[in-house]
Amino acid sequence: MQLRTILTLIGLFGVLGGVPALAQGQAFGPSAADSVILEMREAFAKGQTKRLTELLPRAQGHVLAPWAAYWELRARLEMAEPQEISRFLSRFAGTYQEDRLRNDWLLLLGQRQEWGTFMAEYPSFRMNDDRSVQCYALLTDFRSNERDVAQQVEALWLSQRDFDQGCAAAAEQQLKAKKLQPHAAWLRARLAMENGTQRNGNQRIASQAVGLLDAEWANTVSAIYGNPEHYLEGKLLALRLRTKELVTLAMIRLAVKDPDLAAAELDKLRWKTQLSQEERSWVWGVIGKAAAMRLSDKSLAYFMNGQDALMHADHLAWKVRAALRAGNWEQVAAATAAMSEGQRKEAGWTYWRARALLALAKTPADRVEPRRLLQSVAGLQGFYELLAQEELGLAITPPPAPEPLTEAEKTAANSNPGLQRALLAIAIGMRSDGVREWNYSTNLHTPGGMSDRELLAAADLACRSEVWDRCINTSERTKNVFDITQRFPMPHKQAVLNRTREIGLDPAYVYGLIRQESRFIMDARSHVGASGLMQVMPATASWTARKIGMTDFRPHQITERDTNIAIGTGYLKLVLDDFAGSMPMAAAAYNAGPGRPRAWRGQTGAPLLEAAIWAENVPFTETRDYVKKVLANTTIYAAMITGKTQSLKARLGLVGPLDQALAVNRELP
């Protein structure tokens, strides 16, 4: 992303609310005024309230003054007077910062139980994407007119992945009013026990949920979380309701730790007679999921001990994966049939259900429904859409370009204050803030929303500013038009083509990977330290530089375009060669390291799998999505580069156990 280009465009676009935009003469870096904004952002991150107040007058008149005012007031929101908050909301009406502060204030009002003020402000909250705020609103609805909100509260509470006060307060209200059944609290605890990836965070969630039913049980839940085996050892027959639920939680926790041990425990006679079919089915779902994530051949059998209709959505997803790996199309069909309508309509599950029905079809009439399902998702929007397209025998070719943008459409995007603020924020190093403001300014919750044409114009602005991630993401949100040049841009084309030609690598594959890795952000840096266009880790960069003969490489060079492309493509080629040219396995190795996909490919004697089935069974969510997106991107880029129809299936191929005759490059980091 080029700072000069963005600032030049901002300078050309005129004024923002009467405040002059940056002049082109400031295009080479942040100005002194920008430095004040950046210092305020740093002070906000450090909680330096006094410093924010001192700096605020110096930010007046700056394009990003709304951010400065937001940070200063947000830092002392708990002490601010309501009149001061109202003045801020009025002064910055219609901006992201206004709605962001209202979100923060509504959360504070809910925590303080200041329901009158909350109810007065809530209707003006445009984003309305905070589940805790939504729960506080339902709580006030029930307080004011006893409207039946239990179902909405339950759905919001169960969908919260983090520890939460707002939805817990609404759930407690509904439990006390006997509008919400205690089972909802147990479900919340079950999900926390099952998804125990946060250190102690999920234990808090489970304890909080069960504590709403009985405060004493919260301590028991904490003990179960740490040592489920010990709790189960002491349980006897003739269990009471609460003990049965606590046993279920212990079984779930044990399944996460050791699915085989949990299966043996659940198979004991006492649990068959004392736990309900619903409780046992849920636990079998957790056991099956945990085993499937370990790629155990026992996983499908574990799932089949329970009833699909009584399992959670995530259990059914993993049952489909286990059934695919086992080649059991009947169980793929059964599990997808048990999914909710919303889950079943997701492109992936629609595709696999169609494939299962086709595999089980005995007559031409049996093929009508699966073909209808494939037609419902076929297209160029993603991995399964492309596979459905091929399954129907339709060509994968670039779609026709939409009508060119008019000057009026471009001008409207150019003069949008939120988009201008977002571009400037990104240009001076406030990428996360700029991205949030850009997303807010292009989303449908803004006044009037954005049509497809307006989204194309906004994406065009981002493309011309070389802010490629906003270009791609904004264009991807159009519903009835598809601008492939915006969704799949090719920056640095000559550099990529030259390098891939030099080392014998498919340029479409490289573009597909870069699009997923960094969205073409030159200075992108991940939370684990990967850098640049191809997101290379420091140790990997140094190792690869030595392997490809780059003797003068220095770590700081990794964000330089040509160096990053040289090292990233060099490593990708080494990985691809190590996996015998398998693009999906090499993509998995690039994302998760080569050791993991070697383990995921199966042991000697295991059957060959369609790579789409193999990819769907990758245990890591990030890597599973990554492989699918990189290969889908690659197929589209290949169509663009060659101008010829392409096959995703051909690129996927088959995946199976390692050919013992092939050498493995154990040096690959």
Confidence of residue 444 (pLDDT cuts 50, 70, 90): low
> Would you call 517 a catalytic residue per the annotation?
yes
Topology given in CATH for the domain delimited by 493-655: Lysozyme (1.10.530)
Each residue's pLDDT tens digit, 27-44: 456 789 999 999 999 999
In order of 168, 356, 377, 529, the CA distances from 216 in angstroms are: 17, 48, 50, 44
Q: Which two tokens stand for residue 299?
A: 């996983």
The widest CA-to-CA distance across the chain, in whole angstroms, is: 81
Q: How many CB atoms lie within 10 A of CB 133?
A: 24
Phi, psi dihedrals of residue 539, rounded to the nearest 5°: -65, -40
How far apart, in whole angstroms, are the C-alpha atoms of residue 386 and residue 397?
10
- Is the torsion defined by CA of 21, 25, 27, 30 positive or negative? negative
pTM of the model: 0.93
Spell out a b/e string for 336-372, using b for 16 or more CB atoms within 10 Å of the CB, else e. Answer: bebbeeebbeebbbbbbbbbbbbeeeeeeeeeeebbe
Give the β-pairing of 654-655 and 609-610.
antiparallel
Q: Average pLDDT of the chain? A: 92
Per-domain residue ranges for the chain?
A: 44-124, 493-655
Structure-model confidence comparison of residues 226 and 626, the more confident one? 626
- Does 307 score more than 90 pLDDT? yes
Rg value, the chain, Cα: 28
Beta bridge partners of residue 15, listed in sequence order: 20
Each residue's pLDDT tens digit, 112-148: 999 999 999 999 999 999 999 999 999 999 988 888 9
Which residue type does 22 have?
Answer: L
Phi, psi dihedrals of residue 303, rounded to the nearest 5°: -55, -40
How far apart, in whole angstroms, are the C-alpha atoms of residue 16 and residue 174?
47
Mean pLDDT of 12-29: 39
Q: Are residues 426 and 6 in contact, defined by beta-carbon separation less than 8 angstroms?
A: yes
Question: Which of 517, 616, 622, 667 is labelled catalytic?
Answer: 517
Q: Quickly list H helices, 431-549.
A: 431-442, 452-464, 468-475, 484-487, 493-503, 507-517, 538-547
Q: Are residues 302 and 255 in contact, defined by beta-carbon separation less than 8 angstroms?
A: no
Q: How many CB atoms lie within 10 A of CB 83?
A: 8
Q: Which two tokens stand for residue 225?
A: 């979380």
Q: How many CB atoms lie within 10 A of CB 308?
A: 19
Determine the pLDDT at residue 20. Answer: 33
Each residue's pLDDT tens digit, 234-275: 665 445 556 889 999 999 999 999 999 999 999 987 888 889
